[in-house]
Structure 1
Amino acid sequence: MTPRNVEHLSVEERKTRGKSARERTPLTSLRGWVPAADRPDPVTLLEEQDASREQDLVPVRHGRMLASPFTFYRGTAKIMAQDLKDTARAGLNAQLCGDAHLSNFGVFASPERSLLFDLNDFDETLPGPFEYDVLRMSASFTIAARNNGFSAADTLDVTRTAVRAYREAMAGFATMGTMGIWYARMSDDELIAAAEMAVRTQKGKQRKVAKAIGTNAQRWAEKARTRDSVQALSKLAEYVDGRYRIVSQPPVVVPVRELYDTFGMSAEETWDALNAQLRSYRATLQEDRRHLLERFRVVDVARKVVGVGSVGTRAFIALLEGRDEHDPLFLQVKEATASVLEDHLPKSRYKQPGERVVQGQRMMQASSDIYLGWTKGLQGTNRFLYWRQLRDMKGSAVVEEMHPLGMSVYARVCGWTLARAHARSGDPIAIAAYLGKSDKFDKSVTDFSERYADQNDRDYEAFATAVRSGRLQAIEGV
């Protein structure tokens, strides 16, 4: 890979860059958004994605998206990328998540076994305008708040809280040293403290609601700590003929032993290919982690459906065994395709999409899975994969159960987290100088979010109509 020339500007020069960007692109530029006159049919964009996916799982994806306008939004990164390409931008880039909706934040274990809150999905990661992630996040809060039946005032407040938290956090990072930003993280204790802060600022009935938020945050963290490979073994595997194997639960979980015909290979050929995959993947890990993984052997593999937007892309789980059958390790293997942002932004500097995802995740997260790696798909296929642990104290908030105060607390931690992720790769001084101290950017983004939520409702209705007419097939409840 060609080395990059790195520009080193003074603090004042970086501030000037941000303020100059504000002159070119005023903070109010995102107000009044309307869809482009030649905006593509959203259903057609989804059909284009469906064409390269596992066809038996495409109806499952549609069924999950059909549940509500919010679940629909979770599967529309490609549609929104098309809409964002024409929005105003300041010219200040960072490593983007690419799909920073509020359900793509959560908790997981650091290598030191601390529980951290961070972004947790990087399938679409790519360098680009920092606004793209902010808009994807803020619109998700508006859509989720409406979906939960919040009043217009509460919906406005939740959305603006998320954007304000991003702006204020970026201002804080602009005053920090470079290494201080790199080491910044949000632990479960800090997450709980944020919830408890809400208790101290409330009175009467709202104080009782706030106390429940603090209790739920503690329970969420405690539950996440129980989610590991041993727990996954009890949920996903069965003991047969003296060894564990993954339980068949079609169409969500289908063991490889039931997919030999799909691969067009014999059982022996399939396992030879899978072991070759494992060796190739191990080569992408740093030496100590490679040595650690070599102590495990693969005992079973299965296709496993995950998420909403990812449904239909290749996704597998692999059960590995260490010292004996009571020493399991579950790895998740997900297909990596080109980022939806690459349709409108410069292509990734990484030719291998799996490496793009891994390197983007390492850049944005405060601490990443020790088993993050990548490989090419089975021989003869033009598929790319990335690997990570399946369950390593991972947990996500149940957005549909949030009340206004709880979502407001969550909006603050998501806004801070996104700002910290952008500050690691972008220029926090220039971005903070651009955003300024007023709430103009907050209001502008909130206005966009309300308008985009309206468009999402229209797109959802078009999608539902396509299902009702038979244009799209959907299987609900899976």
Structure 2
Amino acid sequence: MPTKVHHLTLQERQAQGLEARTHVPPDSHAGWRPAADRPDPVSLIEEQNLRRDADLVPVRHGRMMASPFTFYRGAAKIMAVDLAATPTSGLQVQLCGDAHLSNFGVFASPERNLVFDINDFDETLPGPFEYDVERLAASFMVAAQNNGCSTPDAQAITKGCVTSYREAMAQFAGMRTLDVWYAHLAEDQIKESVDAFFAASGRAKGSGKDGKKGKQKKTGEDEGITGMTQKQVKEAQKRFQKNALKAHSRNSDQALSKLSEEVDGRYRIVSAPPVIVPARELHVVYGREPADFEEVVINLFTGYRASLRPELRRLLERFEVIDWARKVVGVGSVGTRAFIVLLQGRDRDDPLFLQVKEATQSVLEGPLPKSEFAQSGERVVHGQRLMQASSDIFLGWSEGVEPGRYYYWRQLRDMKGSALVEMLKPAELAFYGRTCGWTLARAHARSGDPVAISAYLGEDDSFDNAITDFSERYATQNDQDFADFAKAISSNRIDALQQV
């Protein structure tokens, strides 16, 4: 039965935001403290591990143990519990659910152009826009501290990210509806922004040719961020150019050369356990005969193909499945079932690699109402399509053979690239923070009401300062949680396998 849509006037939408601002002032987001009955963070991680492949749980722990930042990446469940007690304006959007800075990056649009956007939606769910902003801002505080930035730099980096979100939302509030929907950050725009930033950073440093002379000054739009020497500018430019070229080269052909081997005139996926375990060896992991897996993958593939639009089903029918394997990915998702599938088109030189990731219940389901989609893979796909300006044509979902197992599918390598966070200087982190802030605002403006949200945020920096304060306090809590996690490993409460 169709639902009637109520259309408010522009003035009524602005009034909603102003009313929310009265009931939950923007500065109320400051002063966060952990709840007195806050659950043990290690117990929350152990709870998540119950549904994960047991042989990969130590790998997950090892990756989280690398640093406080990698721990934060894997601790979305912990933060979801903490966010449940924070003040919210009541203004809803489609949340990424895990909007930390490493879940942003470049990938190919269907027109084969590089675009920058959010690229992980495992936890997506409708909810208060503040949840994503706090998750993103705190990730910059944690990353800045992890990179050895000074306290003023870390604060300025974090605040710059939030300011960018607020200012971008004001821009979207003044745009026409379709203009908001079509807005995106393309490769040429990224390059122009990067070039302008590097030029400003070099001038701000006021250095000589060798980059060692001159008084250090403030740089760019973020007061408090130290500038870059000419040498650092050139190194950063080289890294950007190298990463852009690398992204363009990351496709199924490149994956074929890296992840497969030729045996008897046919390609098959290489074996590199525990990270990559091909189908021919999976019986060791799951205790089923190799022949059983062929039926499993056919059923999964058939269900996935049915989730695509008719013309894309026709396209996919031109490819046949050649091989598949379990492949470990990420940090927080390690242990959930993830596979890669090698397909072949017209001949052996026409490969297509698809990635299949298990979609579990969002960490926000509990703090927030359950998803309207009973199938978690469908939840992820619809959330991604709603938030991204441009999505993979092969994005789809399927139901697993075992009850309660759901998956979503996408291309494995489609010009995907991400920032090497640990290598970023303070000024580079500040630039990246502004870029992510703009991108998150654009994603929220597609599903939420940019007019109401902008009216709530206002024109001053009270919201920016409050979220920066929250982020600093949460980074301190993350350090404590990381220490508790490390203690759990050293005491043999949980196992960890590092450098995998």
Q: TM-score, normalised by structure 1?
A: 0.98
Aligned-pair CA distance for 1:218: 2.6
Q: Match of 1:343, SS?
A: coil
Q: Residue 273 of structure 2 corresponds to which residue in structure 1?
A: 250
Q: Distance in 2 between matches of 1:210 and 1:9?
A: 48
CA spacing shift, 1:112–1:138, aligned 2, 3 Å: same
Aligned-pair CA distance for 1:453: 0.2
Q: Which amino acid aligns with 2:256?
A: L
Q: Residue 124 of structure 2 corresponds to which residue in structure 1?
A: 125
Most deviating of 91-100 and 211-220: 211-220
Q: Is the 8 A contact 2:281 2:290 kept in 1?
A: no
Q: Which amino acid aligns with 1:474?
A: A
Q: Structure 1: any 5+ residue segments left out of the alignment?
A: none
Q: Residue 391 of structure 1 corresponds to which residue in structure 2?
A: 413
Q: Residue 454 of structure 1 corresponds to which residue in structure 2?
A: 476
Q: Which amino acid aligns with 2:132?
A: D
Q: Deviations over 1:21-61 (max 9, x none)?
A: 00000010111110000000000000000111000000000
1:140 correspondence with 2:139: yes
Structure 2 matches for 1:26-425, cutoff 5 A? Answer: 26-202=25-201, 203=203, 204-205=206-207, 206=228, 208=230, 209-260=232-283, 262-378=285-401, 380-425=402-447
Q: Match of 1:108, SS?
A: strand
Q: Match of 2:372, SS?
A: coil
Among the aligned pairs, what percent are the same residue? 60
Q: Which amino acid aligns with 1:465?
A: K
Q: Distance in 1 between matches of 2:320 and 2:284?
A: 24
Q: Deviations over 1:274-323 (max 9, x none)?
A: 11211111000001111110000111010000000000000000000001
Q: Distance in 1 between matches of 2:148 and 2:2?
A: 51
Q: Deviations over 1:223-271 (max 9, x none)?
A: 1000000000000000001100000000000001101354454333321
Q: Residue 476 of structure 1 corresponds to which residue in structure 2?
A: 498
Q: Is the 8 A contact 1:210 1:406 kept in 2?
A: no
Q: How many residues align?
A: 476
Q: Residue 224 of structure 2 corresponds to which residue in structure 1?
A: none
Aligned-pair CA distance for 1:214: 3.6
Q: Match of 1:28, SS?
A: helix
Q: Match of 2:26, SS?
A: coil
Q: Match of 2:27, SS?
A: coil
Aligned CA RMSD, in angstroms, stands at 1.1
Aligned-pair CA distance for 1:124: 0.1
Q: Match of 1:244, SS?
A: strand
CA spacing shift, 1:469–1:277, aligned 2, 3 Å: same
Q: Is the 8 A contact 2:325 2:341 kept in 1?
A: yes
Aligned-pair CA distance for 1:119: 0.2
1:9 correspondence with 2:31: no
Aligned-pair CA distance for 1:211: 4.6
Q: Match of 2:115, SS?
A: strand
Q: TM-score, normalised by structure 2?
A: 0.94
Q: Distance in 2 between matches of 1:230 and 1:366?
A: 26
1:21 correspondence with 2:44: no
Aligned-pair CA distance for 1:213: 3.1
Q: Is the 8 A contact 1:263 1:270 kept in 2?
A: no
